[in-house]
Amino acid sequence: MCGIAGFVNLDGAPADTRVLAAMTGAVRHRGPDDCGTRCVSLRGGAADTALGFHRLSILDLSARGHQPMTAADGSVTVLFNGEIYNALERQPELESAGYRFKSRSDAEVILALYERYGIDGLVERLNGMFAIVIADSRSGVVHLVRDLFGIKPLYWTQCGQTVMFASEAKAFLAHPAFRAEIDPAQLDELLAFRYVAGERSLLKGVQHLAPGHRAAITTGGITTRRYWSIPEHREMSAIPRADAVERLGELLQHSVHSQLRSDVQVGSQLSGGIDSSLVTAFANGIDAFSIVFDDAKFSEEPWILAAAAAAGSASHRFHFDANTFIDALDAASWHMDQPIGHPNSLALWWLARRSREHVTVLLSGEGADELFGGYARLHDARAADRETFIRATQFHSEARLARLRPVADLRPAIEKRRALFDEGGADHASNCVKYEMRTHLVDLLLRQDRMMMAHGIENRVPFLDRHVVEFARALPPACLAAKAIVKDVARRRFDDAFVDRRKRGFNLPIGQYFRHARFIELMEDRLLPGMAVRGLVDVAVVRRWWRRALSAPSTTEGFWITVALELWAQQFITGVPSRRDGPAAWSPPGAAPRQS
């Protein structure tokens, strides 16, 4: 895992190395082991393209893995964040064609594949998680590429004659041409759904490169195109249930083993649920890292211990409480780049911080629920039409949203989500799964990346191996009902009581945290006054909801997003750092120092 930042001056203006250094420094937490910059020209004149990188060393810890990585003739430069799990399989074909590897890094495999096959040949040969930038001065183009499912992030924005790109949008704050503003067209969707689906973001003009997409930046601007889509459901010819279970087990075993490849210590992110427990078991003895709570209604500690024992893993359990939650609010908001939609992201932030004392890589079970139908709304998908299914993920109805924000208009967000749903070309239930993978899963993966990389932890997701996904998209519906086939694989490792227990999400006792004296002080002295000045929501409504949440914890989920929005806005829009050693301590070149 690493941090990417850079820009292209479309008008040929020389790249300012001070700006590049500031942008690159904004993502330094993603790569504490090494850093590098390089400026190149797309026109043959002044260096108009700036490339910056911070490296988290995972494979080939030597200087041979340094990035930016450049071809022998200097014409092609690569920035790569992620892991290519089939990199070793690709090396023999490249060596037989005459390429001589100087490192054991998968970044060099990407460079060699691009030089031999071009951008189209490169992307069709990769299995992994990746955000890639390739500057090709011969062709006068900078390519941006994001992996199939959105495991690794890549943002871009255009300000006048400059196109910027980065692993995290906060890098744009360091460029003098960028102005941080909230996009009102996305705000209503955020408040209703807790995240913005698709390519847009809450920051005006800032876009995600969509999963399975690539972009080309030339002197004429930037264009994007899709190079891969989630397969439509095409049920395979009749396959006995036992054979399907066997095959899925083999695919998961291979995926986990391929993702154990590392020159640093690897562990598992064990929540106690079936998915992360299976990953831990297939990894066979790696240490497991978990969050536990004092309140038994929320803690999965008994199941965590059972899973670790069955997998032969040492169990590292970190307690999470109200003080930890409050301490993490500002730092986690800064690292998230957007309002923290899921409060449990704070627990992931703490898990990563503590786990970094032992490991640099964590495997997680993310993606299994979306891919194999683990959510209740997917169980009921056959009985729900498209609109009903989309609205099942709303946290505020139109009526409730109108009270919170009287000018709200949710119609554009619903239309966008309908269009995303309609990309599915199979049966209704399968289209629901595809929609989940294009929306909710992408947001969860972004959360995983941000909270882990805040502390230099690489997160790997074996359930989202390309071959596992393709197999899942060919299974009969019966195998996907309530994640039936995954449970059958789990029965080979765990007893029935473990497998058949009621699903419980990774929830926090957040009602207790809101009643803590420190949080009450934070709300009264900082957040509610901030909301009143900012004027995005009706602060009187927020105050009523908060008072209700103090006595009725079940109402806290809807109230939370207003808290998250104000925490984020104070850092990204107001620009005032909230920690003495806070992440906003640096300033863009030429700007007034940020006040501490």
Taking the C-alpha atoms of residue 303 and residue 498, their distance in angstroms, rounded to an integer, is: 7
57's torsion region: left (phi>0), alpha (psi -120 to 50) or beta? beta
What are the tens digits of pLDDT across the range 382-396?
667 888 889 888 988
Taking the C-alpha atoms of residue 40 and residue 21, their distance in angstroms, rounded to an integer, is: 15
Q: pLDDT at position 307, please? A: 97
Across 255-282, average pLDDT? 96
Q: 């899973």: which residue's tokens?
A: 307
Interhelix angle 440-453/322-336, nearest 10 degrees: 110
pTM of the model: 0.93
Buried-exposed string 159-170: b where 16+ CB fall within 10 A, e elsewhere: eeebbbbbbbbb
Domain ranges of the chain: 2-191+198-226, 241-385+426-500, 510-576
Label residue 464 exposed, middle or buried (CB < 10 Å: 0-12, 13-18, 19+).
Answer: buried
Structure letter (DSSP) for residue 38: E
Label residue 290 exposed, middle or buried (CB < 10 Å: 0-12, 13-18, 19+).
Answer: buried
Judge contact between 368 and 302, C-beta under 8 A. Answer: no
Lowest mean pLDDT among 145-149, 206-210, 394-398, 443-447: 394-398
Q: How confident is the model at residue 554 (pLDDT cuts 50, 70, 90)?
A: low
Judge contact between 99 and 110, C-beta under 8 A. Answer: no
Taking the C-alpha atoms of residue 110 and residue 587, their distance in angstroms, rounded to an integer, is: 34
Q: 């910056």: which residue's tokens?
A: 52
Taking the C-alpha atoms of residue 462 and residue 516, their distance in angstroms, rounded to an integer, is: 38
Hey, how many other C-beta atoms are within 10 angstroms of the C-beta on 385?
Answer: 9
Q: Which two tokens stand for residue 543?
A: 């105050």
Instruction: Give the chain's length.
Output: 596
Taking the C-alpha atoms of residue 385 and residue 421, their distance in angstroms, rounded to an integer, is: 11
pLDDT at 551 > cutoff 50 = yes
What are the tens digits of pLDDT across the range 389-430?
898 889 888 999 999 999 999 999 999 999 999 998 888 888
Taking the C-alpha atoms of residue 588 and residue 127, their distance in angstroms, rounded to an integer, is: 37
pLDDT at 496 > cutoff 60 = yes
Q: How confident is the model at residue 576 (pLDDT cuts 50, 70, 90)?
A: very low
Q: Are strands 361-363 and 458-460 parallel, antiparallel or unpaired?
A: parallel
pLDDT at 578 > cutoff 90 = no
Residues whose CB falls within 8 Å of the CB of residue 529, separated by 6 or more in sequence, listed in order: none
Taking the C-alpha atoms of residue 356 and residue 575, their distance in angstroms, rounded to an integer, is: 29
Judge contact between 366 and 448, C-beta under 8 A. Answer: yes
What are the tens digits of pLDDT across the range 439-466?
999 999 999 999 999 999 999 999 999 9
3-state percent helix, strand, coil for the chain, nearest multiple of 5: 45, 15, 40
Lowest mean pLDDT among 131-135, 194-198, 571-575: 571-575
pLDDT at 532 > cutoff 70 = yes
pLDDT at 378 > cutoff 80 = no
Taking the C-alpha atoms of residue 164 and residue 215, their distance in angstroms, rounded to an integer, is: 12
In 3D, which of 351, 279, 350 has the Cα closest to residue 308?
Answer: 279
Greatest Cα pair distance in the chain: 70
Hey, how many other C-beta atoms are within 10 angstroms of the C-beta on 98?
Answer: 7
Taking the C-alpha atoms of residue 133 and residue 81, their distance in angstroms, rounded to an integer, is: 9
pLDDT at 471 > cutoff 80 = yes
Residues whose CB falls within 8 Å of the CB of residue 551, separated by 6 or more in sequence, listed in order: none
Angle at 214 between CA 212 and CA 217, to 5 degrees: 165
At position 415, the amino acid (one-letter code) is E
Distances (CA, A) of 287 to 200, 254, 346, 362: 38, 19, 22, 10
CA 476 to chain CA mean position, Å: 29
The fold adopted by the segment(s) 2-191+198-226 is: Glutamine Phosphoribosylpyrophosphate, subunit 1, domain 1 (3.60.20)
Taking the C-alpha atoms of residue 206 and residue 446, their distance in angstroms, rounded to an integer, is: 15
Structure letter (DSSP) for residue 209: P
Label residue 481 exposed, middle or buried (CB < 10 Å: 0-12, 13-18, 19+).
Answer: middle
Q: pLDDT at position 478, please? A: 77
According to DSSP H, which parts of 41-137 are helical? 87-96, 106-123
Q: pLDDT at position 321, please? A: 96
Rounded to the nearest integer, the mean pLDDT of the chain is 91
Across 48-72, average pLDDT? 95
Whether 2-191+198-226 and 241-385+426-500 share one fold: the answer is no
Q: Which two tokens stand for residue 294?
A: 């004092």
Q: How confident is the model at residue 377 (pLDDT cuts 50, 70, 90)?
A: confident
In 3D, which of 261, 311, 256 has the Cα closest to residue 288?
Answer: 311
Residues whose CB falls within 8 Å of the CB of residue 467, separated by 6 or more in sequence, listed in order: 127, 251, 254, 255
Write out 120-148 in H/E/C secondary structure: HHHHCCCCEEEEEEEEECCCCEEEEEECC
Distances (CA, A) of 563 to 57, 521, 534, 537, 556: 36, 13, 13, 11, 11
Q: Which helix (H) or strand (E) segment is 378 a member of?
A: helix 376-379
Q: pLDDT at position 470, please? A: 93
Enumerate the β-bridge partners of residue 269.
289
Q: Residue 2: how many CA atoms within 13 Å on its side-chain side?
A: 32
What CATH architecture is 241-385+426-500?
Answer: 3-Layer(aba) Sandwich (3.40)
